[in-house]
């Protein structure tokens, strides 16, 4: 195999290796390779040096490990391209499910929690998803399930193992929000957007969170970190992008700083820690499409 890309800004660099396995240990099904993949390789092709065909898209590596790297199999990208070419929606379903980790390599997709609303596909904790009806092959992980349901959101059912008996479950499946339609607020090097934590209902995390912090920015100097949950601005809850922009813009016009209250992952004796950060407003803008 050959991994191609621009690692560490070195253009058009190729490295060699083998595919040593397939794993879904890190939620997404990935090809494991020892071909060196570094920062800047992501999105580049993993190519068979025998056939010349692209077999994967370079994705990630384990820090500190010796050439333990990963790529997404190209068949998953090909399905998206096929649907786009036929004019069909390639969006994956937003099933609002949380799954058990497959730590002992059972290769089964078992539901831990369901947050689906009325009228949606209803699965129960403990259900093992076996197959999408009408699609060849068993479902062994979430990647395979999403792949099988692309383009089939309105006319598909699932075969599941429930309490030891196989049954078929049908129900509506909404598409996941499109990335290009997502809106956020950028301020002082910090990008805020909607909470994307899958089990947000479990911890009552609704509203906005930090999606990115620019290195060397004002936000980083105030110890704001990715995944921080925004609880309040100057003591008042702010639950959506437009409300946050309005509050920050008002502070900018008044020439004052704002106090942001965050819920941060803590660990130890407490799962969360609360922190307040005074922030100077700079480079404030909306990221994404205009509100319709």
Domain ranges of the chain: 2-82, 97-170, 179-287
Distance between CA atoms of 92 and 80, rounded to whole angstroms? 10
Instruction: List strands edge to edge, sheet with 2-5.
Output: 13-16, 2-5, 45-47, 54-61, 69-73, 30-33, 19-23
Q: So what's the architecture of 2-82 in CATH? A: Beta Barrel (2.40)
Check for a shared fold between 97-170 and 179-287: yes
Please choose, from the candidates 263, 162, 279, the residue with its C-alpha nearest in 3D space to the C-alpha of residue 217: 279
Structure tokens at 33: 């390779």
Domain 179-287 fold: Pdz3 Domain (2.30.42)
Those residues of the chain that have pLDDT short of 70 are: 292
**Residue 8: what pLDDT?**
82
Q: What ranges make up the beta strands (E) of 171-257?
A: 184-187, 190-194, 208-213, 229-233
pLDDT at res. 5: 87
- The predicted-structure confidence for 6-50, as pLDDT tens digits, reads as follows 888 888 888 889 998 888 877 789 999 988 888 888 899 999 998
Closest Cα partner for 127 from 166, 71, 178, 77? 166
Residue 42's pLDDT is 87
Tokens of 234: 């100057």
The CATH number of the structural domain formed by 97-170 is 2.30.42
Least Cα distance to 290 among 183, 143, 178, 208 occurs for: 183
Predicted local confidence at residue 119, as pLDDT: 81
pTM tops 0.95: no
* Per-residue model confidence (pLDDT) at position 268: 73
Name the percent of the chain in helix, strand, coil, to the closest 5.
15, 35, 50
The confidence score (pLDDT) of residue 292 equals 64
């Amino acid at each position: 195999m050959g991994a191609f890309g621009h690692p560490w800004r070195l253009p058009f660099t190729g490295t060699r290796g083998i595919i040593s396995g397939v794993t879904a240990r890190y939620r997404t099904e990935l090809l494991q390779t020892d071909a060196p993949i570094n920062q800047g390789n992501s999105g580049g092709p993993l190519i068979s040096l025998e056939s010349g065909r692209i077999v994967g898209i370079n994705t990630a590596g384990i820090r500190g490990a010796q050439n333990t790297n990963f790529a997404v199999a190209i068949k998953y990208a090909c399905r998206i391209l096929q649907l786009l070419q036929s004019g069909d929606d390639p969006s994956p379903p937003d099933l609002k499910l949380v799954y058990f980790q497959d730590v002992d390599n059972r290769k089964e997709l078992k539901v831990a929690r369901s947050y689906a609303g009325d009228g949606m596909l209803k699965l129960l904790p403990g259900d093992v998803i076996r197959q999408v009806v009408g699609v060849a092959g068993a479902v062994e992980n979430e990647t395979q399930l999403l792949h099988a349901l692309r383009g089939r959101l309105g006319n598909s059912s699932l075969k599941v193992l429930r309490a030891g008996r196989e049954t078929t479950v049908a129900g509506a499946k909404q598409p996941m929000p499109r990335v290009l339609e997502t809106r956020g607020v950028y301020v002082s090097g910090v990008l805020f957007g909607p909470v994307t934590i899958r089990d947000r209902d479990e911890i009552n995390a609704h509203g906005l969170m930090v999606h990115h912090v620019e290195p060397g920015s004002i936000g980083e100097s105030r110890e704001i970190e990715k995944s921080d949950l925004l609880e309040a601005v100057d003591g008042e809850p702010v639950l959506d992008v437009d409300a946050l922009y309005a509050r920050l813009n008002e502070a900018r016009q008044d020439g004052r700083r704002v106090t942001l209250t965050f819920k941060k992952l803590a660990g130890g004796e407490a799962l969360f820690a609360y922190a307040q950060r005074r922030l100077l407003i700079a480079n404030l803008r909306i990221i994404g499409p205009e509100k319709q």
